[in-house]
Amino acid sequence: MPRTQFISTGFHVPERIVTNDELRTWWDTSDEWIRARTGIGERHWVEPGLEAGSDLALKAAQSALERADLKATDLDCIVFATLSPDYFFPGGGVFLQRKLGVPGIPALDIRNQCSGFLYGLSVADAWVRSGQYKRVLLIGAEVHSTGMDFSPGGRDLSVLFGDGAGAVILGPGDDGRGVLSVHLHADGVGAEQLWCESESSARMPRISYDDLDAGRHFARMNGREVFRNAVVRMPEVVREGLAANDLTAEDIDLFIPHQANLRISEAVQKQLGLRDDQVYNNIERFGNTTAATLPIAMDEVARSGRLKEGDLLVLSAFGSGWTWGSAIIRW
């Protein structure tokens, strides 16, 4: 049976760089506080009204297509992971499809927040291995900056997030390389610990003046609970993936954790007993781009040569839902 291989990768972030010092324009915060608690130095923000998530996704996709010497018309389907779609509905997939100019091919939207890329990878992997689709474009794209709470109460969450998009093109191969496994989990007990309550089809009207006054249209987070769960679930699901493939942490050439917070990544690294040279972090430059962190990092390591053919690559993510997962990949 063929395995799902990574034909190509690409990413795109908006031009505008927002430093920790610039955040002091809106919030009582400091570069020292943000760096010490999160490892973030800067992030990219879109120009509101000029760039949507599907625009970032388009540029990431074009970069991946160019790298693979493929045209958009070579794609068989799109899988689009985001928690910040351009609109409540339809999802980002159809807007990206329209911008790519490939009418007719299916576009699937994935709503699994920080684990969205891994959930998307699991579906794409099954489609490729079954022979249903040969060239799958998998995207993780987010625009957080248009949803920032600029009041004092928004500072804990708003300093963490950045905008960006990552793309991978997947297809079958039979030389043993490719996706060895994807393990996924969810536990809705944590749903309200990191969520955006409004607009909500569970209520009428879906968004009210009261919601706006109370700031329910902004994301809200219990940071300590996120932290506490992430440092348990991520090592656990990596070990699950390794065990399923008769591998150990020593076999890992490169581990890319979801870029939520450098302190989370360091705690996960420590629990897995990994050396610094086995782990890649880029949160210092991008902040948390949710579904986009893994494909952005993959493109960086693939292009820089840090990730080489035949290397064992391990991905893991944890986030809102709760949802979490890991992927074990022979690159």
Q: Is the dihedral of CA 119, 121, 126, 127 positive or negative?
A: positive
d(C-alpha 17, C-alpha 20), whole Å: 10
> Which structure tokens are listed for 196?
């955006």
Q: Which residue is nearest to ligand COA (CB)?
A: 223
| Residue from the set 19, 24, 33, 153 that interacts with ligand COA by CB under 6 A | 33
| CA distances (Å), origin 218, targets 64, 155, 210, 221, 296 | 32, 12, 13, 10, 25
Q: Is 226 in the site for ligand COA (CB under 6 A)?
A: yes
Binding mask 68-107 for ligand COA (x = CB under 6 A): ----------------------------------------
Minimum distance, C-beta of residue 47 to ligand COA, in the bound complex (Å): 24
How far is C-alpha 62 from the geometric centre of its chain's CA atoms? 18
Q: Considering only residues 276-305, where is the footprint of ligand COA by CB under 6 A?
A: 288
Which amino acid is it at 119?
A: Y
When the beta carbons of 136 and 237 are compared against ligand COA, the nearer one is 237
Supply the minimum distance, in Å, between the C-beta of residue 288 and ligand COA.
5
Q: What are phi and psi of 197, to 5 degrees?
A: -80, -30
- Residue 222 CB, nearest distance to ligand COA (Å)? 8
Q: What single-letter amino acid sits at 246?
A: D
Phi, psi (degrees; rounded to nearest 5) at 63? -65, -45
DSSP string, 58-103: HHHHHHHHHHHT--GGG--EEEEE-SS-SSSSS-HHHHHHHHHT-T
Q: Please, which of residues 183-212 interact with ligand COA by CB under 6 A? A: 194
CB of 4 to ligand COA, least distance (A): 25
Question: Which is nearer to ligand COA, 170 or 219 (by Cβ)?
Answer: 219
**Closer residue to ligand COA (CB): 98 or 150:** 150
In the bound state with ligand COA, the residue whose beta carbon lies nearer, of 160 and 312, is 160
Q: Please give the Cα distance from 300 to 330 (Å, whole number).
A: 17
Tell whether residue 160 is a contact of ligand COA (CB under 6 A). Answer: yes
Whole-Å CA distances, 76 to 30, 120, 128, 135, 248: 47, 15, 10, 5, 35
Please choose, out of 1-9, 79-87, 205-213, 259-267, the segment that lies near ligand COA by the rule CB under 6 A: 259-267
- Whether 114 sits among the annotated catalytic residues: the reply is yes
As measured in angstroms, the least distance from the Cβ of 320 to ligand COA is 7
Count of positions (residues) in the chain: 331
Least distance from C-beta 187 to ligand COA, angstroms? Answer: 14
Q: Is 140 helix (H, G, I), strand (E, B) or coil?
A: strand
CA 50, CA 307: separation in Å to the nearest integer? 34
Residues 32, 69, 188, 224: which binds ligand COA (CB under 6 A)? 224
43: phi then psi, degrees, rounded to nearest 5: -150, 165
Interface with ligand COA, residue 37, by CB under 6 A: yes
Just list the catalytic residues: 114, 258, 288
Q: Which residues contact ligand COA by CB under 6 A?
A: 27, 29, 33, 37-38, 114, 155-156, 159-160, 194, 221, 223-224, 226-227, 260-261, 264, 288, 319
